[in-house]
């Protein structure tokens, strides 16, 4: 099963632009971007991604609160979530993984390899859940 559709949740517009270039222009994925956790929840009512790329620190709903809300949506059961954060303390990383994320990517990230990294994480997740 190939990775095709990604939902990206990030409050920083400059990072959204870089991620869009990395995932759409370079990697060829279909990408829907949201600037907040609440927008992501609303978007998930009519868009079902293969993977969710989620910023950890956002105003309003932070990443963990957003993940918690996503996990309550029946149509989102089993969709892998990858956190992206500049704060990558081991304790925080473990908190994201314990909450249900499959991985944590550190900012700054390499735009040239982000698509490949997400594809690998997605395929590893698919293989592990079979």
Could you tell me the domains of the chain?
5-128 (3.40.50.2300)
Cβ pair 38, 49 in contact under 8 A: no
Q: How far apart are CA 55 and CA 88, in angstroms?
A: 12
Q: For a pLDDT cut of 90, what percent of the chain falls above it?
A: 92
pLDDT of residue 128: 93
Q: What is the pLDDT of residues 3-49, one digit of tens each?
A: 999 999 999 999 999 999 999 999 999 999 999 999 999 999 999 99
pLDDT of residue 1: 83
Cβ pair 9, 47 in contact under 8 A: no
Q: For a pLDDT cut of 70, what percent of the chain falls above it?
A: 100
Beta-sheet pairing, 81-85 with 5-9? unpaired
Q: Which residues, in sequence order, are bridge partners of residue 31? A: 6
Q: For tokens 């249900």, what's the residue?
A: 100
Give helix then strand counts, H and E, for the chain. Answer: 5, 5
Confidence bin at 86 (pLDDT 50/70/90): confident
Alpha helices, DSSP H, located in the chain: 13-20, 37-43, 63-71, 90-99, 114-128
Q: How far apart are CA 1 and CA 128, in angstroms?
A: 13
pLDDT of residue 69: 97
pLDDT of residue 90: 87
Confidence bin at 68 (pLDDT 50/70/90): very high
Q: How far apart are CA 106 and CA 47, in angstroms?
A: 26
Confidence bin at 50 (pLDDT 50/70/90): very high
Global confidence as pTM: 0.96
The conformation of residue 14, written as its DSSP 8-state character, comes to H
88, pLDDT greater than 80: no
pLDDT of residue 13: 97
């Amino acid at each position: 099963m190939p990775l095709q559709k990604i939902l990206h949740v990030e409050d920083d517009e400059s990072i959204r632009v870089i991620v869009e270039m990395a995932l759409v222009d370079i990697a060829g994925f279909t990408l829907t971007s949201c600037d907040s956790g609440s927008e992501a929840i609303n978007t998930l009512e009519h868009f079902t991604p293969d993977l969710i790329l989620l910023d950890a620190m956002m105003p309003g709903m932070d990443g963990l609160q957003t993940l918690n809300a996503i996990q309550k949506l029946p149509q989102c059961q089993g969709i892998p979530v990858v956190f992206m954060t500049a704060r990558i303390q081991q304790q925080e990383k473990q908190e994201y993984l314990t909450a249900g994320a499959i991985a944590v990517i550190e900012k700054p990230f390499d735009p040239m390899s982000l698509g490949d990294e997400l594809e690998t994480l997605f395929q590893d997740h698919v293989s592990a859940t079979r």
